[in-house]
Chains A and B, each alone.
Chain A
């Protein structure tokens, strides 16, 4: 590093600490980010990454520590001060006005004077210039809600650049992007870096860290455990630093021993309440003892497929479980599905799988609450039995903290997911539907969840796994079907395909079933 020592770092944090009540979110954190570099910050959920960035962007005030921007000590009491110091932030959930145009969103909050006209004209000129410079082409007059998420993200970046940001913070920027959109984003980031901008990227995807960053810091339990040059490290080492122990990044599994067809889906069609056709004739089979993966960019019909199979969405076509047709014409079949041996770990545990305001013991029976084991003589819920049941499941699934009376929202993402998994897997289903099993789940828990899924497969169950994470599909499934625009664009044997081929299918650029 000797050569750059003379130039002040773009950002230098010294001894930043922050606690919320008894929880210490950041403990004496010091980092220094060289100007004109891409710096990654990795860590599990709750490691303190977001808190640290919120301090840098003025959302939180640090309890102690100093911030230096370009070598000058700077106080950042609010986001205005952060913007003034040249810091821009692209949030994970975009903060755009949906029915405004790109131009209006860029100018919003940075208007000059009472009249909008001059600001807009100036912004338009600047936008054209920025677009050329950084490959950030967006139609300034397009309305946000008509743009794809990839373009919306560019608007967020443009917003920051319009406010003359020299330092860009991106929070989980690829969470909603297709692989090709992500590649484009990385090109933009490299361009920005080459023009002298400094970029901090928060992510949990180690592959992206390796792909795009120059240096990387690892956070664990509020502390910065390491800062290294990306070229000097590898994913396994980073994962170990994040979790604090060795982690298996690949799933250890034997080849599948597939049995009879258990779930048979034929010509499934779904039209939503707005008249949009979401599923355009889906057919596939899942056999006992195998995992069928459904890959695809979010929003191509996977959610609707799970809703129908899980018993809370309507469809036409046919679904057979061990040869017997089940009712897909009604949307209130959740109980019958469970009785037919279908369990479902939904994609969205916040809005579907769990009631956040319910205690863990109440959630542990959710969907099965009518079963005799939870009902006392006299027809009331048997709270003691539910608590016992929960304590057992918490132990077997290593759910922490093991307190059945805590509300679901008090658990971390990984532990929430384990609550849902424990509930659904221990019901011992014949068919497990599982959507985004590791979304928002930390690496340590991912390993555990993957092991559980494989164990269930090896016990002869049929598993339908929907995931937008290609890594997960490739490492976990036996066969994979790729969904694009409401139909299956192709089906492959997982061992005989690769990321590139699946990526093309996901983008709808390759037709034809296997």
Chain B
């Protein structure tokens, strides 16, 4: 197959894939007796129609950026980290410990500590499957999935037996100390005199953007990233070059887990202000789709995360305004996006490549 220009590879093809997914979704909506154009309108309005809607969309997108970057980093080392869900859950514990037991004077001190707590817990949680893969030969896809369940059980145990708020009926911690509450977009924009409505989006969104930039530097500019990519492309060649596969597997997975863990900063520290059961709500799995669509590039991950944020937030409005379209319908649309961008990617890639070949040949 010939070569595509980068912009077509990274932008045009994912865009066409998403378009195709929406087209099929439209057919499904049509099939259950609703107007797909109208449904599209509701979703767009619900996700981008007001500052508040945008706030919600970006709040969800923040989660997906972190979990998407997590999958992307591991994937550069050809490691398929399916464990974002569990890693982010365990990170919730790390955040909770930091924000419950220290009386922080100001959020700007609590935030770095919570980042370390989240990254430490999630990083270790991801490092165990990495160790098992490189030393014991247990496949990382299997172990990371299993660790999702272990994490869920651990969370239940901790919330029911260890760190439960005695005054509460539900398995959750007490509220975090006031000094650990992160500034929301409303507050931050208020500092510069912009009026923004109340929504869960908080400073974590900026952290997510910084993480995108950081991952870009790591993967394409640093020596470690060079070694991670080399190992990912060819394990045997990496061995020849003196790059330790064990080291790369451990480091890549720890970084990957830590990134997934940062999601807990957004949900647990930024929005919940206490740890509840299932603080991840499936974002770990959506991260896989986000990384796939974003082709494991931070910019792609960012854009794909925004798209999924829109689907998530717009989906709420859709199921509210169109009773026939249930919450599950949103899952169907998400699934179609994953199907067309992941599994059926060649459906679009082959004809586009052929078209480009014909075009370049005509020009030659």
B234 cross-chain contacts in A, Cβ below 8 A = 351-352, 355-356
Which one, A333, A357, A379, A381, contacts B242 given CB within 8 A?
Answer: A333
Can you name the residue of chain B whose Cβ is closest to the Cβ of A338? B242
Is B241 located at the chain interface by the 8 A CB criterion?
Answer: yes
Is there contact, CB below 8 Å, between A332 and B2?
Answer: no
B240 touches A346 (CB 8 A): yes
Contact between chains at A367 and B240 (CB < 8 Å):
yes
Task: Determine if A358 is an interface residue (Cβ-Cβ < 8 Å).
Answer: yes
| Chain A residues, Cβ within 8 Å of B246 | 332
Closest to B231 in A: A355
A300-342 vs B, CB cutoff 8 Å, 1 = contact: the mask equals: 0000000000111000000000000000000111111110000
When the two chains form the complex, which single residue of B223, B233, B357, B364 contacts A381, counting CB atoms closer than 8 Å? B223
**Structural contact, B230 and A352, CB atoms closer than 8 A:** no
Chain A interface category by residue count: 35 or more
- Smallest CB separation, A289 vs chain B (Å): 26
Least Cβ distance of B275 to chain A in Å?
36
How many Å lie between the Cα of A312 and that of B242 in the bound state?
7
Rounded to whole angstroms, the CA-CA distance of A335 and B240 in the bound complex is: 9
A357 touches B233 (CB 8 A): yes
Residues of B within 8 A of A353 (CB): 237, 240
Interface pair A334/B241, CB less than 8 Å apart: yes
* B223:A352 contact, CB within 8 angstroms: no
**Contact across chains for B242 and A337 when beta carbons are under 8 A apart:** yes
What 0/1 pattern do residues 397 to 410 of A give for CB contact below 8 A with B? 00000000000000
The distance in angstroms between the C-alpha atoms of A369 and B227, with both chains bound, is 9
Q: Which residue of B lies closest to A352 (CB)?
A: B240
Most chain A CB within a 10 A radius of its CB, from B226, B229, B243: B226
Query: Out of B217, B240, B357, B360, which one reaches A334, CB within 8 Å?
Result: B240
Q: Give the residue name and chain of the A residue nearest to B243 (CB).
A: A334
B239 within 8 A of A: yes
A113, CB-defined interface residue at 8 Å: no
The proximity string for A residues 16-28 relative to B, scoring 1 for CB distances below 8 Å and 0 otherwise, is 0001111000000
State A381–B228 Cα separation when bound (angstroms).
13
Q: Nearest Cβ distance between residue B174 and chain A, in whole angstroms?
A: 42
B-side contacts of A312, CB under 8 Å = 239-240, 242
Nearest-Cβ distance from residue B224 to partner chain A, whole angstroms: 9
- In Å, the complex CA distance between A19 and B361 comes to 10
- A370 proximal to B (CB < 8 A): yes
Chain A residues near B50 (CB, 8 Å)? none
Q: A355's contact among B223, B237, B244, by CB below 8 Å, is which?
A: B237
- Cross-chain contact A380 with B222 (CB below 8 angstroms): yes
A142 to B198, CA, bound (A): 76
Please judge, given known A-B contacts A22-B364, A369-B227, whether A381 and B222 are in contact too, CB under 8 Å: yes
- Please indicate the chain B residues that have their CB under 8 angstroms from the CB of A369 in the complex: 223, 226-227, 241
Residue A366 at the B interface, CB < 8 A? Answer: yes
Q: Which applies to chain B's interface (DSSP): helix, strand, loop or mixed?
A: helix
Q: CB of A138 within 8 A of chain B?
A: no
* B203-235 interface code vs A (CB 8 A; 1 in, 0 out): 000000000000001000111001101100110
Interface string of A346-376 (1 = CB under 8 A from B): 1010011111111000100011011000010
Interface: B236 (CB within 8 A): yes
Interface string of B243-256 (1 = CB under 8 A from A): 11010000000000
* Interface band, chain B: 20 to 34
Residues of the A chain whose Cβ atoms lie less than 8 Å from the Cβ of B241: 334, 366-367, 369
Q: Contact at A22–B361, with CB atoms within 8 Å?
A: yes
Contacting pair A21 B242 (CB below 8 A): no
Q: How far is the CA of A383 from the CA of B222 in the complex (A)?
A: 10
Complex contacts, B244 vs chain A, CB 8 Å: 332
**A221 contacts chain B at the CB level, 8 A cutoff:** no
Q: Is A344 an interface residue (CB 8 A)?
A: yes
| CA A352 to CA B357, docked complex, whole Å | 31
- Of all chain A residues, the one with the shortest Cβ separation from B356 is A21
Tell me how far the C-beta of B287 lies from the nearest C-beta in chain A, rounded to whole angstroms.
Answer: 24
Q: Are B243 and A381 in contact (CB under 8 A)?
A: no
In whole angstroms, what is the CA distance A436 to B138 when docked?
A: 35
Instruction: Note all chain A residues with C-beta closer than 8 A to B2.
Output: 20-21
Query: Which residues in window 337-364 of B have CB below 8 A to A?
Result: 357, 360-361, 364
Residues of A within 8 A of B229 (CB): 355, 358
Contact indicator B237/A332 (Cβ below 8 Å): no
Bound CA span A332–B246, Å: 10
Instruction: Give Cα distance in the complex from A333 to B241, angstroms.
Output: 9
Chain B residues whose C-beta falls within 8 Å of the C-beta of A19 in the assembled complex: 361
> Once the chains bind, are A370 and B240 in contact (CB under 8 Å)?
no
Q: Is the CB of B242 within 8 A of A335?
A: yes
Distance, CA A333 to CA B226, complexed state (A): 18
Residues of B within 8 A of A336 (CB): 242
Give the Cβ gap from A370 to chain B, nearest Cβ, in Å.
6
A20 to chain B, nearest CB (A): 8
User: Hey, which chain A residues are within 8 Å of B226, CB to CB?
Assistant: 362, 369, 381
Task: Determine whether the beta carbon of A351 is less than 8 Å from that of B223.
Answer: no
- Does the CB pair A366–B223 fall under 8 Å? no
Q: A366–B230 contact, CB under 8 A?
A: yes
Given contacts A355-B234, A366-B230, contact A379 B222 (CB under 8 A): yes
Known: A334-B241, A379-B223. 6 other contacts (CB 8 A): A310-B240, A332-B246, A352-B237, A352-B240, A358-B230, A369-B227
Residues of A within 8 A of B (CB): 19-22, 310-312, 331-338, 344, 346, 348, 351-358, 362, 366-367, 369-370, 375, 379-381, 383
Interface pairs (29), CB distance under 8 Å: A20-B2, A21-B2, A22-B361, A22-B364, A310-B240, A332-B244, A334-B240, A334-B241, A334-B243, A344-B240, A346-B240, A351-B236, A351-B237, A352-B237, A352-B239, A352-B240, A355-B233, A355-B237, A358-B229, A362-B226, A366-B237, A367-B242, A369-B226, A375-B223, A379-B222, A379-B223, A380-B222, A380-B223, A381-B222
The 4 closest A-B pairs by CB, nearest first: A334-B242, A335-B242, A367-B241, A352-B240
